[in-house]
Structure 1
Amino acid sequence: MQPFTHIDAKAAPLPLANIDTDQIIPKQFLKTVEREGLSKGLFYDLRFDEQGREKPDFVLNRPEYQGAGVLITGDNFGCGSSREHAPWALMDFGVRSVIATSFADIFYNNCFQNGLLPVVLKADEVEALMAEAKGGNHVMSVDLETQTVTAPSGKTFRFEIDPVRKEKMLKGLDAIGETLQKAKSIDTYEMKRALAQPWLEGA
């Protein structure tokens, strides 16, 4: 997993509440277990019309938000089914952090397993960032080490995060990476067990 420490990136405002995982990545794009290529399905029904043409008024299709690395959105982001493809699609599109007042629990947990930083801020703070993202300068800073979001105006907002999750994100550790940190101990245990109980090793 790619570590997350600090990013300076364009922030795209998406002032909608209750965006569910089917809106983030519709079901027709779930046939693959590959993470690459899912960006084409990100917000598909919001980004494209029935003929598959880009909707010019959707924020991520607008030239000034091309390459956005931060998404600022409304309450309860990521609700609905527990598809891990949702954070995969956001990451594949280039989004490294989503800022909202609240997230659905399963989506929130999936973000930390995939290197996507979910930032929870107060409603007035999200509104302030949203307003600045709609202005001329869209570049914001998200710093995990200091747990701060800095707007183009210089206003800084602090967010809370579980210290264990923070440490894993800084080091780029998902569940597998965390386990592999104990690889030597695991190998030693398996070697001792094979000597003490060889019948468990099979034929």
Structure 2
Amino acid sequence: MKTQVSVKQIVIDFIYLKNQLRDLFKNNIEYKPIVEFLLAKDYLDEELNLPFPKIKDVEEGTGLKAYTLRKILLKMHSEIFSYDTNRLNLKFQKVLYHFYIRFFDHRCDFTMSSLSHLPRIGENIRLPFVSAKMPLTSFYVENIMHEFENDTQKITITLKVGDYNEYWKFMYDRALELNEIGIMEKYDLSERELKNKIYSKNPYR
């Protein structure tokens, strides 16, 4: 069964890849009006707070009729997202490492543009240069998330104070799976509150 592709969503998807579009489609004049339209504004700049363009906006900005615009967008999309061995390849050549730390009322965030070794979940990390913002400087990696936007791979590394506890991680995941804690409790409750709730329900605590 062929998947139906939304041209409205293609526009939004291309906005997240806009830094690559000119290079990907540099040899196709037919695509140029759309590429130039998407490059004209920075829709991902949170300070500008620009709404994503609607199909009607793209029609007016490119001068293309609705049928032609739809046809070209689907064609552009298929050149990247298809099973064809000749499809175009995306490139994410830049990497940014975002470190995210929370400890009660203390917060610290910073970014690295280069890192020789990506720490893994559970590994211990000492950051002696964050003492002005954090009361402690020793942490462990709680979570790692990869995000791909434009031409950049963004890696968010969440750190927590203390040592990684495999048993607690197992109990936490088990509670989520069995709906012993709700999805909102995951974010609203502190780790101590979560432990009290989960362990109180379990005979193996």
* TM-score normalised over the length of structure 1: 0.20
- Structure label with greater radius of gyration: 2
Structure with more contact order per residue of length (Cα contacts < 8 Å, sep ≥ 6): 1
Q: Which has the higher strand share?
A: 2
* TM-score normalised over the length of structure 2: 0.20
